[in-house]
Amino acid sequence: MKKTIPILVAAAAALFILAALILGEPLAGWLEIVLNWAVIVASAALLVAIATLILTHLRNIVRGKRGFIFSIILISTFLVSFIGALVFGVDNSAYLRWVAAIQLPLETSLLGLAALVMTAAALQIFRSRGWSLLTLTFGISALVFLVISLGLLQALNIPVLTTVINYLQRLPMIGARGLLIGIGIGALLMGLRVVLGLERPWGE
Amino acid sequence: MNEIITLDLLAIAIVCLALLSLAIALLTSRKHPYRNLRKNEALLDAEKLMHEAAEKGLRLTIGLGVNQVSSAPAPANLAGLPVLRLMSRRSVFNDQPAQALAGDGALAALGQLIVRGKYQNALATELFKPDFGLLAGATPYAYLAGLLPEVNYRANAGVFLLGSQRPETILAASLAEQKDLPLVAGTDDLSAQAVLLATNARLCLGEDALNAGAALESDPGAAASVRAQDWLRVLAVLGLLAGAVLKLLGVWQ
């Protein structure tokens, strides 16, 4: 019973959403209600996850675990932003500006770092994966598309070259579509497995 | 309007076809679900890595991915859960149990549910700690910031990055590389796949990341799903070829 109920709930919810997406108008009102329930359940799960995270870091501080200083920073920043949102409201412009002033520079610096690491990794691909057809193709295509993206070749305005460039620019899309079709089929079957109760993500 | 109805009908037909393929695959291979099954080498390496970690008394860290679309986990987010299931089962009595990190609340709750279940099955609930499955961060960058220190953990034997990962995950992959840690990665994000290819990660390309349960022989449903996927892929190829020929012949505009 304990195992059957979640399967039935998941299957019923999935079938209802599928039906509502296909039938459209007649079930639109109900679809909104069910999606709101999903948002509430997901938010509750997020709260539980945050509570676990905070408790873990509190335990780290109490036990004086290595790196507990980071736990102090995490809990204090969490409390400040949480209390700030409760007092001023999540739509308050000053509160949003304050959060953005911390979050944006941090995210931008991580993005900058990621860009540098990506460049380094692309240059080191032959060292890490050796010389093979895959690495050669990777290296050559990266180089070709870097040159194309510069726009200098297009500026020459040679009709034959423009045709070749247009053709080359379609190639990544074709490859991506191939991969996306595969991923789409995989995701569809994963969804069907959940609906049929064959895949139980919540199971042990 | 007609185009929308045609697309809906096409979608229903594809879902029905997928359902039929799955049913046939389940029925035809129910006795030996894993026989002659296409398996991903990266995930086979993952199994070896689990044994090695257990022997050395070291820990495995798994990043379950980040939620990119909505408030509920997307199918790709569930990709890492079969690996976590197996990893947790094998590390219940290890000195260093497996550590799961998620970039989404629901996924973190699912991860913790799985780990707790494994400890319950092993009648060792007293060994379970809630921090074996944690929320690394509720946004993609927060997830990354939470993941990096865990990859850097001194007693790590290997790192798994499965599920919806973003290109920025290369920071974690690069850290694992610097620390000489084996890395198994699989994602549905094409840009992330491309950047991870430039690292020394053992990579699951395309939909292989979604079939970990089949490669690890822990889920007959996933094995049937791999067979059904192969059939559907053949049909998709035939459909594309037929479409191209019809367009060339001017039958279909």
Q: Are B186 and B162 in contact (CB under 8 A)?
A: yes
Does the pLDDT of residue B70 top 60, yes or no? no
d(CA A53, CA A68): 13
**Domain boundaries along the sequence of chain A:** 1-88, 90-123
* Contact status, residue B182 vs residue B61, Cβ threshold 8 Å: no
Distance between CA atoms of residues B42 and B201, nearest Å: 9
Question: Across the interface, do B190 and A180 touch by the CB < 8 Å criterion?
Answer: yes
Shortest distance, CA A18 to any CA of chain B (angstroms): 9
Residues β-bridged to residue B133: B100
Is the residue at B209 inside a domain? yes
B210 within some domain: yes
Quick check: is B161 in a domain? yes
Q: Does B214 touch chain A (CB under 8 A)?
A: no
- Give B28-52 pLDDT, tens digit per residue: 988 888 888 877 888 888 888 888 8
Respond yes or no on whether ipTM tops 0.85. no
Minimal Cα–Cα distance from A156 to chain B, Å? 30
**B62 compared with A22, residue with greater pLDDT:** B62
Residue B58 lies in a domain: yes
pTM summary value: 0.85
A174: amino acid identity, one letter: I
Residue B87 lies inside a defined structural domain of this protein? yes
For B11, nearest residue in chain A (alpha carbons) = A22
- Tens of pLDDT along A34-63? 889 988 988 898 899 999 999 999 999 999
Facing residue for A110 by CB, picked from B11, B75, B141: B141
For residue B217, give its domain range: 45-249
Q: pLDDT tens string for chain A (204 positions)?
A: 667 787 788 888 888 888 887 777 888 888 889 889 988 988 898 899 999 999 999 999 999 888 889 899 999 998 998 899 999 988 899 999 988 998 899 989 989 999 999 888 888 888 777 888 888 888 888 888 888 888 888 888 888 888 988 888 888 888 888 888 888 888 888 888 888 877 776 655
Question: Helix, strand, coil % (nearest 5) of chain A?
Answer: 85, 0, 15
Per-residue tokens: B187: 């994602």
* H runs (alpha helix) in chain B: 2-28, 41-56, 81-91, 105-121, 140-151, 170-178, 190-197, 212-215, 220-249
Of B34-43, B85-94, B136-145, B236-245, minimum mean pLDDT range: B34-43
Q: How confident is the model over B172-227, as pLDDT tens digits?
A: 999 999 999 999 998 888 889 888 888 888 888 877 888 888 888 888 888 898 89
Instruction: Report the CATH number that the domain containing residue B98 is assigned in CATH.
Output: 3.40.50
Using a CB–CB cutoff of 8 Å, tell me whether B111 touches chain A: no
pLDDT at position B245 is 92
